[in-house]
Amino acid sequence: MKSSLAVLCTLAVLGTCAVAQDKGFGLGILLGEPSGLSGKMWVSQVNAVDAGLAWSFKNSGFLHIHADYLWHFPDAISSSERLVISAGLGGRLGTGHDAVLGVRIPFALAWWPHGVPLDLFLELAPGLDLLPATEFVMQGGIGIRWFF
Q: What string of DSSP letters covers 28-67?
A: EEEEEESEEEEEEEESSSSEEEEEEEEEESSSTTEEEEEE
For residue 95, give every residue at least 6 positions away whose Cβ sits within 8 Å of its Cβ, in sequence order, or none. 62, 63, 65
What per-residue confidence (pLDDT) applies to 81? 84
Q: What is the CATH number of domain 20-147?
A: 2.40.160.20
- Predicted confidence (pLDDT) per residue in 63-116, tens digit: 999 999 999 998 888 888 899 999 999 999 998 778 899 999 999 999 999 999
- Predicted confidence (pLDDT) per residue in 31-54, tens digit: 999 999 999 999 999 999 999 999
Checking if the pLDDT of 143 tops 90, the result is yes
Beta-strand (E) ranges in 96-134?
100-104, 107-111, 118-131
User: Does 139 or 81 have the greater pLDDT score?
Assistant: 139
Nearest to 123 by CA among 42, 45, 64, 38: 38
The SS3 assignment for 17 reads helix
Q: Around 141, how many Cα atoms within 13 Å sit in the side-chain half-sphere?
A: 19
**Model confidence, pTM:** 0.81
DSSP one-letter code for 76: S
